[in-house]
Amino acid sequence: MDSYRIIANYYDRSYEAKPHLEDLPFYIDFANQNGGPILELGCGTGRILLPIARSGIEITGLDISEYMLAVLKEKLADETNEVKAKVTLHHGDIRSFKTEKKYALVTIPFRALQHMYSISDQIAALNSAKDSLSGNGLLIFDVFNPHFDKVYAGIGEEYLDFEWTSGDSQIKRYFRKDSIDKKNLSFTGAFIFRTYRDNQLILEEEDPIKMSFYTFPHLQLLFKIVGLEIVETFGSFKKEDLTGNSPEMIFVLRKEQK
């Protein structure tokens, strides 16, 4: 489920085709406020990591997908020596990552925590993040705010996510939700990439995906178990208040003050 073998090939082009990804300026702003070093858990292809490194901040990235990291390493090879010197990369699992180095800011962006499917996995991931923090360091992550009428709807249906042009081809990314686990709060589905030339389908590729989703009280309990406390919450990357209707649940946390 976590290989991202197909997704990695299309990841950057997919999100370049989405014009309003507001998480990037949000995380860059916190990076500039807090300085380094920064640890990004679930760094993927470096969509957030590289702009932070370009701003002169030391950042370490961790990802479980070798395919995503391979794309990031190719991109990093084209960066200046100054940027390269700011970046350290690790292939590994958020749940078991251990480091003696401590970080002023630890981030888990773009819903990476939603790839933790059990309570034990969620606790392990948050503990790993907490243990990587310096004394006054901050942990920031985002997950979507589940609107259950939408989450539970549309099983088996495909919808067009976004599309873009590559050379003389048009690529369309679709999403299909396959199943819902209401007991464990997760769903399975797939991203389907279809490439067209002269309006003819010439290639179709599919990668599975599984995501958990959280309620606010669920997260509060996880924080209590792990020993984290909330500094701020936001309902969007514009830093709007978190309400039941917010699209996102964004948390700024620190180690529990005793």
- How many other C-beta atoms lie within 10 A of the C-beta of residue 78? 8
Please answer whether residues 223 and 230 qualify as being in contact, where contact means their C-beta atoms are separated by less than 8 angstroms: yes
Judge: domain 5-146+214-255, CATH 3.40.50.150: yes
Q: In one letter, which amino acid is 148?
A: F
- φ, ψ dihedrals at 240, nearest 5°: -75, 160
pLDDT at 2 over 60: no
* Domain extent listing, the chain: 5-146+214-255, 148-212
Q: What is the pLDDT of residue 20?
A: 64
User: What integer is the mean pLDDT of 121-147?
Assistant: 97
Q: How much is the average pLDDT of 33-44?
A: 96
The answer to whether 8 and 68 have CB atoms below 8 angstroms apart is: yes
Give the residue-averaged pLDDT of 46-58: 97
**Which tokens sit at 187?**
């769903």
DSSP state of 113: G
**5-146+214-255 and 148-212: identical CATH topology:** no
Q: Calculate the dihedral angle through the C-alpha atoms of 26, 29, 33, 37, rounding to the nearest 10 degrees.
A: 80
Report the predicted TM-score, pTM, of the whole model to 2 decimal places. Answer: 0.95
- Mean pLDDT for the stretch of residues 148-169: 94
Which top CATH class is 148-212? Answer: mainly beta
Does the pLDDT at position 214 exceed 90? yes
Q: Contact at 8 Å (CB) between 38 and 31? A: yes
